[in-house]
Structure 1
Amino acid sequence: MVGADGSPGSEVAIGFALQEAARRGAQLIVVAAFDLPPYWACAYGMPAAPESSEALRETIRDHVEAHVRKVADSFGEQARDVPVEIRPVVGDPAAALVDAARHADLLVVGHRGGGGFANLLLGSVASKCVLHATCPVTIVPTPDRVAVG
């Protein structure tokens, strides 16, 4: 299972997760969690209708599907052959990933980076996943953060 948010760190995590799933002969579940504040619709003068969040969920699913396909294409045929399920989830991203990973063999998340002192710290989503997930968690750094030696 991998978390996806469209960031460069997420893209690297998806690539790692695709390779790992191909190596294990496993399915990859991609969780794209997004938190909507309760006032998001009324801020635009609209009632919060369930249809609008379902439409948003479908938009997110389409975007993530295209993103995963692009990453898979860059890793070749083996990655393209991995069965992928995309789960858009409305809610706190860390809580959604921890909950979705209850039956996973591995949870993969990217590191947000940030430069300087921020590079020494994990983001709040990655930290919460490490602390609360019931399966092993892999934090994948972006290429500019990989330490050699």
Structure 2
Amino acid sequence: MKPRLSFIFILLLLVQMRAVLAAPANCLRYEPETVTVTGKLHRETFPGRPNYESVANGDEPETGFYMSLEPTICTVGDIGQSEVAFKSVREIQLVLNKKQYAELRPKLGAVVRLRGQLFSAFTGHHHADVLLRVSE
């Protein structure tokens, strides 16, 4: 049984390595690398706790800032990590502190260019596949 599990593990590792190596050179890497993205800044509200289904039915509203990317981006997955490779990302969720929210609020609806570190969604509070932790 152990040799079979080892074979399966090695096979999965090779498949992941092939996906990373086959990614186009212009795809963006996840944190800790710093990247720059350009897109239209907007605000969205999604249902939060307790059921993440409907604000009208009592779930807490979760309002955040997002970017509709121009042009779309692709990301490179990391072997052994939870970061997923995506071919065509059109929308990212921004992770901001209070000061950054205040600075960006007047720019809602405008095309902005932001720098930061990308990571892929991993909780119910993440409403886009890819998020950008914006640098100061």
Provide the TM-score with structure 2 as the length reference. 0.22
Q: Looking at secondary structure, tell me which structure has more strand per residue.
A: 2
Q: With a CA cutoff of 8 Å and minimum separation of 6, indicate the structure with the bigger relative contact order.
A: 1
Q: Looking at secondary structure, tell me which structure has more helix per residue.
A: 1
Say which one has the larger Rg.
2
